Amino acid sequence: MAEYNNKTIVLHELIGLKVEVFRSNDSSMEKMKGIVIDETKNTFLVRTPLGDKRIPKSTSTFKFLFGRNKFIINGEEICFRPYERLEKSFKFYKRRRI
């Protein structure tokens, strides 16, 4: 099982994790909660109690929940295709604190 911590979260698979929109330029998306069911370069598809919602990464800050741990990620840090994240998010990985 992967070790999720505040530093490595940007390098891990995010599909299947619980997520909350912590901040967003679109106030209607703030505090939206659900499970990430799909990811593209610029968006997350989140299953919420009100149905599936597509949330833009670049204008949002996300709070991911993994077990009892919470990780806050600025969407710009993960605004890549999922298979490109390991390579391109490495600069954000180096800046993050444990």
Domain definitions of the chain by residue range: 9-95
pLDDT by position in tens, the chain (length 98): 567 777 778 888 899 999 999 999 999 999 999 999 999 999 999 999 999 999 999 999 999 998 888 999 999 889 988 888 777 776 776 777 76
Which residues does 50 contact at the CB level (< 8 Å), separation at least 6? none
**pTM score:** 0.85
Determine whether domain 9-95 maps to CATH 2.30.30.210: yes
The overall longest dimension of the chain from CA atoms, in Å, is: 37
Answer positive or negative: Cα dihedral of 2, 13, 32, 52: negative
CA 84 – CA 89 distance, rounded (Å): 8
